[in-house]
């Protein structure tokens, strides 16, 4: 993982807000004047933690790659009398090196392939970073978790704290328990109903209070079947005597029978009409009713009295039941109230019918017993007593019953259609994706084993060609190419694989090295170390190279050579063919920046350019130049101003005077540098003013711009700036340097001015 951004906190340099370089690429150039913070940045990067995990989480520059920093501190540390380090490099056997390179390419390819597999697997259950297969599983899990958790809220309130106790405050814990129990009930075909679970939950919620049984209704009938038949039949009697015809005609024998009770009290009067009664009235009445009426009356009264006694006993039983119901809050009294009310109504109706029968003992009356209504109440009592027994059993065995209730409650919940479907869907998704994850992890393990085998093979190959002498020889060749002939590197066997700086006569050279020589030998050492290892026969590790102003005290030849090496390093980092994964270069030298940052690809997506600029407060701010360098020397800046003046429509005095001075500096600097300015004849078809312009250009090109004859800018009207620039181009053509003019215009993004019908077009 390369560095994506650099953040440096240094209030003395950048102010209270940290400096940040964002969106770093494979190759990055940072241009800054001295004192703008280059050393602060490189010094901070040199403090990268050693531990790989800490590197990834480092807030300065997060990366799993080691950062190798070349700066002043590196020069001071490395260039000592004893040069530490053994590098496993060598090219004595091209075949072996080719094999090593091939193995390294294979390792790099496998690393890239493993990164892709790990990306496909994803980072796991972090909700803020849900990607890959694990991220997809997590998103499905969260949806299923929320659905299942919300479903449990619809369960009866009495059941919730008992069945789901300990899980209701944590969705993840609830979902995990639901999944575990769902797996357990998959092999079970039992169906659990919520209704008895709710009743059992209510019992467990009663505070361990038992309930008293309801008193039973033992009186199940008020009248026997014989009495029902008796009451329902018509009684017959003799109907003798002389009053028979009258009573039968009036059909009022019940009324006449009642009147007999008042004969004695009437004192000789008729109890019916209050006239003087016949002397034989009482005898005639007794004669009429003696035929069976009295017997029927006594029978009816007896039946009525018997039923009253039984009804009173039944009422006592009902009252006792009502008292028990009033004391038991768990009973649903509504059903009992209705049944009791119907039973009392049936009892009252029966007694009323029997009173009617006693009033008319010879008339048949159809009556109904209360046994059917009693049976309904008895069933309610029996059912409630059964529930009371179950309740008492639960209360007396609360711990055991609670466990059973929890098990049955979860089973009823998970057997629900919606919850079961949700869990089955998630289990299916997880199984499919975990299968792919297992396959990818197996691939990663196989790939890592292949890397270990390749590294062991590289180690064997490295041991056959690596020694310190070869490394010294490579650095010595570099020194020779740079013109450093006064000293060389020598392997020092007594120093356990180190090197010594020696003169041609073998004497030590360290104390007599110039600053430029010291700087270059340090850079050469750093360059070789980038592609080597710090342990014998080790495999070079992938690195990020940070190079901070490597040209201190160097002459121009060395500057160009180091710049060339940095261009090579940039190309290697972009191609990815070596262990150099990323390059960061910091410099204050414009010439070195142009040389080192040069690329034929002017806008490469793999390059990023930054500038550090000091403001009026002395603090440094960052300018992000994107994929194009904005650093130019003085001469290119002059040409850039010419192109801007040619492209602008503004011909103010400021623009006019400014462009005249710029043209003077270009002519003086360019033609005096190359020399050989030729005289010329008057241009054909040129106006006197144009001829004077060209002549003035010739003076500037020869003797400099600062002469008394300096008032050409006062004789050109506003609106003639474009003509002035056109003659400027014409002068380069006259001198035979038109190609240079075109090159500088194109380099300053003014190629369009050279096209047909444009300001600098040629006929």
Per-residue pLDDT tens for 658-671?
788 888 888 887 88
611 strand-pairing partners: 31, 623
Higher pLDDT pick, 81 / 740: 740
Give the mean pLDDT of 323-343: 79
Round the CA-based radius of gyration of the chain to a whole number and report it: 58
Q: How confident is the model at residue 492 (pLDDT cuts 50, 70, 90)?
A: low
Q: How far apart are CA 237 and CA 656, in angstroms?
A: 154
Hey, what long-range contacts does 466-470 have (CB within 8 A, 24 or more apart)?
466/87, 466/88, 466/89, 466/90, 466/536, 466/537, 467/90, 467/491, 468/86, 468/87, 468/497, 468/498, 468/499, 470/89, 470/90, 470/91, 470/92
Q: How confident is the model at residue 281 (pLDDT cuts 50, 70, 90)?
A: low
* Most confident of the ranges 194-208, 230-244, 530-544, 725-739: 725-739
Listed range (88-102, 361-375, 528-542, 653-667) with the worst mean pLDDT = 88-102
pLDDT above 70 covers a percentage of the chain that reads 72
Listed range (218-227, 282-291, 323-332, 634-643) with the worst mean pLDDT = 282-291
**What 3 state SS string does 555-597 have?**
CHHHHHHHHHHHHHHHHHHHHCCCCEEEEEEEECCHHHHHHHH
Hey, what long-range contacts does 670-676 have (CB within 8 A, 24 or more apart)?
670/635, 670/701, 670/737, 670/740, 671/701, 671/702, 671/735, 672/701, 672/702, 672/704
Instruction: Look at residue 711 in the predicted model and tell me its pLDDT.
Output: 47
Instruction: Look at residue 22 in the predicted model and tell me its pLDDT.
Output: 92
Give the mean pLDDT of 224-239: 71
pLDDT exceeds 90 at position 730: no
Q: How far apart are CA 179 and CA 171, in angstroms?
A: 12
Contacts of 218 (CB under 8 A, 6+ apart): 317
Q: How far apart are CA 114 and CA 106, in angstroms?
A: 12
3-state secondary structure of 612: strand
Q: How many CB atoms lie within 10 A of CB 265?
A: 8
Q: How far apart are CA 459 and CA 11, in angstroms?
A: 47
Per the prediction, the chain carries an average pLDDT of 77
Sign of the torsion angle spanned by Cα atoms 703, 705, 710, 716: positive
pLDDT exceeds 60 at position 285: no
582 strand-pairing partners: 544
Listed range (6-15, 107-116, 166-175) with the worst mean pLDDT = 166-175
Give the mean pLDDT of 611-624: 84
Sign of the torsion angle spanned by Cα atoms 360, 361, 366, 368: positive
What's the burial of 294, exposed, middle or buried (CB within 10 Å: 0-12/13-18/19+)?
Answer: middle
Number of alpha carbons in the 13 Å side-chain half-sphere of residue 173: 7
pLDDT exceeds 50 at position 92: no
| pLDDT tens-digit map of 14-61 | 888 899 999 999 999 998 888 888 889 999 999 999 888 898 999 999
Q: How confident is the model at residue 401 (pLDDT cuts 50, 70, 90)?
A: low
Angle between helix 556-575 and 515-530 (nearest 10): 10
| C-alpha distance from residue 521 to each of 42, 470, 513, 533, 646 (Å) | 20, 16, 10, 18, 48
Give the mean pLDDT of 617-622: 84
pLDDT exceeds 90 at position 439: yes
Q: How far apart are CA 235 and CA 253, in angstroms?
A: 13
Beta carbons of 28 and 21 less than 8 angstroms apart: yes
Q: How far apart are CA 79 and CA 500, in angstroms?
A: 10
pLDDT exceeds 60 at position 123: yes
Question: Cα angle at 368 between 362 and 371, to 5 degrees?
Answer: 145
Quick one: how far is CA 5 from the chain centroid?
23
Contacts of 144 (CB under 8 A, 6+ apart): 175, 422, 423, 425, 426
Q: How far apart are CA 178 and CA 166, in angstroms?
A: 13
String of DSSP letters for 352-403: HHHHHHHHSTTS------SHHHHHHHHHHHHHHHHHHHHHHHHHHTHHHHHH
Q: How confident is the model at residue 494 (pLDDT cuts 50, 70, 90)?
A: very low
pLDDT exceeds 90 at position 451: yes
Instruction: Look at residue 496 in the predicted model and tell me its pLDDT.
Output: 38
Q: How far apart are CA 730 and CA 726, in angstroms?
A: 6
Instruction: Look at residue 545 in the predicted model and tell me its pLDDT.
Output: 92
Largest Cα–Cα separation, the chain = 190
| Alpha-helix runs per DSSP H in 46-170 | 52-56, 72-78, 94-121, 132-152, 160-163
Q: How far apart are CA 184 and CA 199, in angstroms?
A: 25
Question: Among residues 127, 129, 153, which one has the least CA distance to residue 141?
Answer: 127
Q: How far apart are CA 27 and CA 605, in angstroms?
A: 10
Give the mean pLDDT of 639-646: 85
From start to end of 297-354, where are the E strands? Answer: none
Q: How many CB atoms lie within 10 A of CB 145?
A: 20
Instruction: Look at residue 84 in the predicted model and tell me its pLDDT.
Output: 41
Instruction: Look at residue 466 in the predicted model and tell me its pLDDT.
Output: 45
Instruction: Look at residue 88 in the predicted model and tell me its pLDDT.
Output: 35
pLDDT above 90 covers a percentage of the chain that reads 11
Instruction: Look at residue 243 in the predicted model and tell me its pLDDT.
Output: 53
626 strand-pairing partners: 609
3-state secondary structure of 653: helix
Contacts of 464 (CB under 8 A, 6+ apart): 93, 96
Instruction: Look at residue 117 in the predicted model and tell me its pLDDT.
Output: 92
Give the mean pLDDT of 251-271: 58
3-state secondary structure of 704: coil
pLDDT exceeds 90 at position 328: no
pLDDT exceeds 50 at position 320: yes
* Most confident of the ranges 173-187, 193-207, 741-755: 741-755
Beta carbons of 320 and 262 less than 8 angstroms apart: no
Phi then psi for 334, rounded to 5 degrees?
-60, -45
Higher pLDDT pick, 220 / 413: 220
Give the mean pLDDT of 621-634: 79
3-state secondary structure of 191: coil
Q: How far apart are CA 254 and CA 252, in angstroms?
A: 5
Give the mean pLDDT of 291-300: 67
Give the mean pLDDT of 326-352: 81
Q: How far apart are CA 720 and CA 706, in angstroms?
A: 22
* Most confident of the ranges 187-196, 198-207, 423-432: 423-432
């Amino acid at each position: 993982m390369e560095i994506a951004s650099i953040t440096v906190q240094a209030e003395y340099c950048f102010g209270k807000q940290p400096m940040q370089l964002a969106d770093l690429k494979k190759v990055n150039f940072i241009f800054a004047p001295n004192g703008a913070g280059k050393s602060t940045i490189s010094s901070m990067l040199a403090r990268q933690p050693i531990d790989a995990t800490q590197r990834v989480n480092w807030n300065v520059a997060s990366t799993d790659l080691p950062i190798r920093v070349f700066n002043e501190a590196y020069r001071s540390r490395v260039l000592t009398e004893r040069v530490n380090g053994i590098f496993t490099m060598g090219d004595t056997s091209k075949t072996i090196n080719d094999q090593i390179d091939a193995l390294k390419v294979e390792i790099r390819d496998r690393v890239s392939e493993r990164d892709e597999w790990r990306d496909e697997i994803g980072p796991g259950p972090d909700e803020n970073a849900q990607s890959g297969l694990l991220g997809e599983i997590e998103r499905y899990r969260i949806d299923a978790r929320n659905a299942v958790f919300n479903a449990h809220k619809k369960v009866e309130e009495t059941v919730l704290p008992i069945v789901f106790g300990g899980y209701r405050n944590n969705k993840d814990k609830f979902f995990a328990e639901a999944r575990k129990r769902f797996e357990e009930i998959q092999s079970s075909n039992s169906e659990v109903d919520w209704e008895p679970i709710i009743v059992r939950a209510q019992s467990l919620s009663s505070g361990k209070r038992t309930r008293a049984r309801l008193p039973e209704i033992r009186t199940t009938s008020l009248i026997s079947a014989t009495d029902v038949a008796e009451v329902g039949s018509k009684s017959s009697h003799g109907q003798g005597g002389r009053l028979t015809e009258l009573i039968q005609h009036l059909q009022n024998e019940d009324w006449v029978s009642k009147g007999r009770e008042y004969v004695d009290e009437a004192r000789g009067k008729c109890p019916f009409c209050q006239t003087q009664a016949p002397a034989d009235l009482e005898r005639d009445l007794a004669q009429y009713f003696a035929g069976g009426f009295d017997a029927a009356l006594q029978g009816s009264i007896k039946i009525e009295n018997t039923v009253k006694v039984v009804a009173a006993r039944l009422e006592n039983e009902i009252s006792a039941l009502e008292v028990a119901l009033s004391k038991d809050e768990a009973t649903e009294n509504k059903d009992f109230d209705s049944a009791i009310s119907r039973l009392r109504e049936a009892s009252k109706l029966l007694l009323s019918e029997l009173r009617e029968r006693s009033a008319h003992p010879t008339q048949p009356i159809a009556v109904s017993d209360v046994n059917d209504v009693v049976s309904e109440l008895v069933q309610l009592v029996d059912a409630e007593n059964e529930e009371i027994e179950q309740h008492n059993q639960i209360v007396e065995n609360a711990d055991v019953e609670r466990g059973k209730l929890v098990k049955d409650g979860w089973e009823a919940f998970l057997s629900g259609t919606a919850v079961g479907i949700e869990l089955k869907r998630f289990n299916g998704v997880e199984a499919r994706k975990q299968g792919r994850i297992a396959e990818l992890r197996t691939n990663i393990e196989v790939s890592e084993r292949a890397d270990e085998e390749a590294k062991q093979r590289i180690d064997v190959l490295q041991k056959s060609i690596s020694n310190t002498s070869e490394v010294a020889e490579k650095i010595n060749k570099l020194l020779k190419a740079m013109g450093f002939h006064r000293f060389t590197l020598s392997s020092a066997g007594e120093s356990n694989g180190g090197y010594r700086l020696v003169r041609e006569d073998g004497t030590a050279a360290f104390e007599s090295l110039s600053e430029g020589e010291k700087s270059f030998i340090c850079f050469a050492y750093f360059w070789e170390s980038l592609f080597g290892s710090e342990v014998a026969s080790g495999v070079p590790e992938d690195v990020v190279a940070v190079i901070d102003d490597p040209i201190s005290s160097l002459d121009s030849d060395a500057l160009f050579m180091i710049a060339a090496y940095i261009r090579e390093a940039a190309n290697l980092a972009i191609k990815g063919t070596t262990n150099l994964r990323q390059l960061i270069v910091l410099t204050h030298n414009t010439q070195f920046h142009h040389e080192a940052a040069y690329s034929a690809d002017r806008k490469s997506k793999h390059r990023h350019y930054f500038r550090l600029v000091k403001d009026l407060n002395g603090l440094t701010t960052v300018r992000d130049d994107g994929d194009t360098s904005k650093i130019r020397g003085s001469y290119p800046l002059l040409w850039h101003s010419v192109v801007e003046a040619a492209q602008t429509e503004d011909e103010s005095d400021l623009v006019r005077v400014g462009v005249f001075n710029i043209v003077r500096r270009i002519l003086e600097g360019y033609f005096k540098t190359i020399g050989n300015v030729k005289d010329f004849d008057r241009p054909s078809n040129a106006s006197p003013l144009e001829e004077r312009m060209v002549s003035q250009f010739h003076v500037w090109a020869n003797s400099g711009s600062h002469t008394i004859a300096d008032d050409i800018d006062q004789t050109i009207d506003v609106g003639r700036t474009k003509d002035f620039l056109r003659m400027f181009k014409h002068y380069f053509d006259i001198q035979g340097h038109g190609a240079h003019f075109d090159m500088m215009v194109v380099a300053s993004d003014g190629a369009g001015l050279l096209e047909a019908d444009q300001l600098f077009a040629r006929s």
